[in-house]
Structure 1
Amino acid sequence: MKSIRQQLLMALLSTIMLTTLLGALATYRTARDEAQAMFDYQLRQLALTLRDHALQNGPLREFGIDEDAQHFSVQIWGPDGTRIYLSHPRQELPHQAPIGFATIDTGHGQWRVFGMQQAGQMIQVAQPMQVRDQLALAAAWRTVAPFLLMLPLLGVLIWIVVGRGLRPLDAIARAVSTRTPVALDPLPESRVPSEVLPLVRALNELLDRLRRALVAQREFIADAAHELRTPLAALTLQVQLAERASDARSRAEAFAELKGGLQRTTHSVQQLLTLARQEPGGGERPLVPVQLAELAAQVIAEHLPLADARRVDLGVTPTAREGVVTGDPEALRILVGNLVSNAVCYTPPGGKVDVSSGEDERGTFIEVCDSGPGIPSEEREHVFDRFYRRAQTDTAGSGLGLAIVKAIADRHRAHVLLDDADLGGLRARVEFPRLLPL
């Protein structure tokens, strides 16, 4: 596992060292340029001194100077080109150079040479370039050495400072570790550095979503247990009645009631499983393009036997623009199926149910309209609650149909709207976003 502190330490030390080396290179070049100018000046001054001495005291061969101390070499040639003076016989010095400054390579190193003529004689003063390079390198080293010697101290200081800067993360980690499924309080945002604040807020949003999911799960389990307890108790009673039946007719009636109770209980369990699958993390499938018109046709075909049995006219209302959404085909089939099933079941015999889908100025939609009794406006917000059933209704149901519709719509970022239909009953409209990411 990589440590942020170690990464910052290595990055900062590497940056400091690289900056120091670049500074040393710049210092070396600057010092070398300054040394070039200074020593060129000295070369010229020494040549002028030799010239003045010759003018005052005669031939230059009698001139004496401690060139070893100054790292300079002097050569003098006569009018005929014969060398008449050499200050360093044991050195490989450059041959006679042109007048003025020049850099000459002798094969044993480079020399900086200044030459001038005086009284027919050629005076040449030279200095090895190695001396200048050593002087510039020494200046650069004196600049870099203190920084290099301070690197260990800088490493310790960076380690301490970075550690203090990372303390808020340690505090957040300790705070998160204290959270439990029964204690999901948000993390404190006061006295949190601005760089860490987005992380804290993101964690608080996650904790809030987790808290709401756990609450919903507990409520779901409690509601499911409560709702299943009644039909299971009824099944037990019906079994007992079947056992106590004294004749074949009573036994047949008891078994018929028992069969109906088993079907209702099975339907409730299936609805519970369907709702659980539509919750976040409940085995979601990849989203693909779905033709709403084809989906509506499939659902209508599945519900035609139920509609015929109840003598309800179930059909499709065509629209100008076909609707296509990105979603889970199976989940959307369940959504439309629940809406159609509710409409058919609550519409009295001889009524009508129309299904339409398409795209309008409000977005892509699918809606189911019926001629039934509808839902009062004050109850429309509650019908999406789990196990909610209207008091004044004789239609059997689990109270989960619209809750499943709401869960599937939320998963697809869609909105479910309930209002009055032109047929006189309820209109259930599901509006999808125009573009849904895959």
Structure 2
Amino acid sequence: MRSIRRQLLFALLAAITLTTLLGALATYRTARAEANAMFDYQLRQLALSFRDQALQNAHIRDLASNDDAQDFSIQIWRPDGTRIYLSHPGKELPHHAPLGFATIDTGKGKWRAFGLQQGGQTIQVAQPLQARDELALAAALRTVAPFLPMLPMLGVLIWVVVGRGLRPLDAVARAMTTRTPVALDPLPENRVPTEVVPLVRSLNDLLARLKRALDAQREFIADAAHELRTPLAALSLQLQLAERATDAAARGDAFGELERGLERATHCVQQLLTLARQEPGGGDRPLTPVNLDDLVAKVVADQLPLAEARQIDLGVTPAARALTVSGDAEALHILVSNLVGNAIRYTPPGGKVDVAVGDDALGTFVEVNDSGPGIPPEERERVFDRFYRRAQTDEPGSGLGLAIVRTIAERHRASVLLDAADLGGLRARVRFGGSTAS
């Protein structure tokens, strides 16, 4: 597990060390440039001082005797090129060089030399560049040296300061540990550093969504238990009636009611499982292109036996062009099946149900129109609630069909609109935000 504190410590120490080294390099370059300028000046002045003296051999030795311990090398040549003086006989010195300043490589090191002529004689004063580099390096080291012992102290200070800076995160972590499924209060934003506020707000948003999900789950479980209790009690009663039946006819009627009760309970459980699978996190599958005309054709083919049994005219109006949406084909099949199945069940015998696919300026849509009794405007939003069933209907059901439709639509970022149909009943339109046409 990575430690922010340790990463900041290493990063800051590395940055400080690198900055110090860069400062030392800059100091070295500056000191070297200044040393070159200063020593060049000294070379010239030393050469000029010899020019002003009487250049006799003995006199020159006396004049240069104090220079033997210095880094400077002095050479003097006669006009014929004979060297009459050499200050450091044991050293490899540069040979006769051009007049003025020059840098000479002797093979064993570079020298900086200055030469001039006086009275036919050539005077050359030279100095090894190594001496200048050592002087510049010593200046740079003197600059960096005070900082090196301070690095451990800086490390301790950085460790302490970063630890104090990370305390708000520790406080947020401790506050999160106090949250439970029954206590999901938002984290306080006061006395929180500006940099931590986005994290706190994101956590509060997560807690709010988690609270809503848990509340919805508790409501769902309570509603499901309530809805299943009634058919299970009815099944128990019908089983008792079947056991107490005294003749075959009464027993047959009791078993018939028991079978229908089992079908209703099975349908309710299947709808509950379908709704649970369509909830967020209920096993989401990757989205793929879905041709809406093919999808509607399959749904109508599945629902056609039910429509014929109820003497309902079930028809399809395909789109003028092939329309495709990105979605979960199985979930969209359930969505359209629930809409078409509801329309067939609530339309009186001899009625009509039309399914259409199309698109307009607002996007692609699938709509189901029926000639049934419709739904009053004040109830059109409530029918999407789980287990809600209108009091005026006698059709069996679990009250989960439209809840499943809305859940699937929200997964696909689609909207569901209920309004009056041209056929006199209800029109249910599912509109998708994006589509492709071919």
Shift of 1:20: 1.5
Q: Provide the secondary structure at the position in 2 that maps to 1:195.
A: helix
Question: What is aligned with 1:257?
Answer: 257
**Is the 1:61–1:84 Cα contact (8 Å) retained in structure 2?**
no
Q: Provide the secondary structure at the position in 2 that maps to 1:93.
A: coil
Question: What is aligned with 2:163?
Answer: 163
**TM-score normalised by the chain length of structure 1:** 0.96
Q: Matches of residues 155-234 of structure 1 in structure 2 within 5 Å?
A: 155-234=155-234
Q: Distance in 1 between matches of 2:293 and 2:324?
A: 8
Question: What is aligned with 1:399?
Answer: 399
**Is the 2:323–2:435 Cα contact (8 Å) retained in structure 1?**
no
Shift of 1:70: 3.8
Q: Distance in 1 between matches of 2:60 and 2:167?
A: 78
Shift of 1:107: 2.5
**Is the 2:364–2:435 Cα contact (8 Å) retained in structure 1?**
no
Question: What is aligned with 1:32?
Answer: 32
Q: Distance in 2 between matches of 1:2 and 1:57?
A: 77
Q: Distance in 2 between matches of 1:397 and 1:124?
A: 115
Shift of 1:148: 1.7
The one-character-per-residue Cα deviations of 1:173-224 (angstroms, maximum 9, x if unpaired) are: 1111111111111111222222222221111111111111111111111101
Question: What is aligned with 1:47?
Answer: 47
Q: Provide the secondary structure at the position in 2 that maps to 1:383.
A: helix
**Identity of aligned pairs, percent?**
75
The one-character-per-residue Cα deviations of 1:295-324 (angstroms, maximum 9, x if unpaired) are: 111111111111111111111123324321
Q: Distance in 2 between matches of 1:435 and 1:166?
A: 48
Q: Distance in 1 between matches of 2:3 and 2:435?
A: 41
**What one-letter code is carried by the residue in structure 1 that aligns with 2:215?**
V
The one-character-per-residue Cα deviations of 1:350-394 (angstroms, maximum 9, x if unpaired) are: 111000112211111111010111000000111000100001111
Q: Distance in 2 between matches of 1:295 and 1:26?
A: 74
Question: What is aligned with 1:410?
Answer: 410
Q: Matches of residues 303-318 of structure 1 in structure 2 within 5 Å?
A: 303-318=303-318
Q: Provide the secondary structure at the position in 1 that maps to 2:147.
A: helix
Shift of 1:42: 0.3
Please, which moves more after superposition, 267-276 or 73-82? 73-82
Instruction: Summarize the Cα distance change of 1:60–1:435 in structure 2 as closer, same or farther, 3 Å threshold.
Output: farther
Question: What is aligned with 1:422?
Answer: 422
**Is the 1:322–1:358 Cα contact (8 Å) retained in structure 2?**
no
Shift of 1:60: 4.1
Question: What is aligned with 1:124?
Answer: 124
Shift of 1:328: 0.8
Q: Distance in 2 between matches of 1:97 and 1:303?
A: 109
Question: What is aligned with 2:79?
Answer: 79
* Structure 1: runs of 5 or more not aligned: none
Shift of 1:241: 0.8
Shift of 1:62: 5.3
Question: What is aligned with 1:105?
Answer: 105
Q: Distance in 2 between matches of 1:435 and 1:160?
A: 57
- Does 2:134 match 1:138? no
**Is the 1:343–1:353 Cα contact (8 Å) retained in structure 2?**
yes
Q: Provide the secondary structure at the position in 1 that maps to 2:8.
A: helix
Instruction: Summarize the Cα distance change of 1:105–1:288 in structure 2 as closer, same or farther, 3 Å threshold.
Output: same
The one-character-per-residue Cα deviations of 1:122-169 (angstroms, maximum 9, x if unpaired) are: 111111111101100011111111222211111111111111111111
**Is the 1:47–1:124 Cα contact (8 Å) retained in structure 2?**
yes
**Is the 1:47–1:114 Cα contact (8 Å) retained in structure 2?**
yes
Instruction: Give aligned pairs, total.
Output: 436
Instruction: Summarize the Cα distance change of 1:99–1:85 in structure 2 as closer, same or farther, 3 Å threshold.
Output: same
Shift of 1:79: 2.5
The one-character-per-residue Cα deviations of 1:5-64 (angstroms, maximum 9, x if unpaired) are: 111111111111112112211211111111111100000001111111238999645534
**What one-letter code is carried by the residue in structure 2 that aligns with 1:109?**
G
The one-character-per-residue Cα deviations of 1:51-83 (angstroms, maximum 9, x if unpaired) are: 112389996455345114542121111222222
Q: Distance in 1 between matches of 2:314 and 2:68?
A: 117
**Is the 2:57–2:85 Cα contact (8 Å) retained in structure 1?**
no
**What one-letter code is carried by the residue in structure 1 that aligns with 2:314?**
L
Q: Distance in 2 between matches of 1:57 and 1:264?
A: 131
Question: What is aligned with 1:364?
Answer: 364
Q: Provide the secondary structure at the position in 1 that maps to 2:305.
A: helix
**Is the 1:94–1:105 Cα contact (8 Å) retained in structure 2?**
yes
Question: What is aligned with 1:93?
Answer: 93
Question: What is aligned with 1:235?
Answer: 235
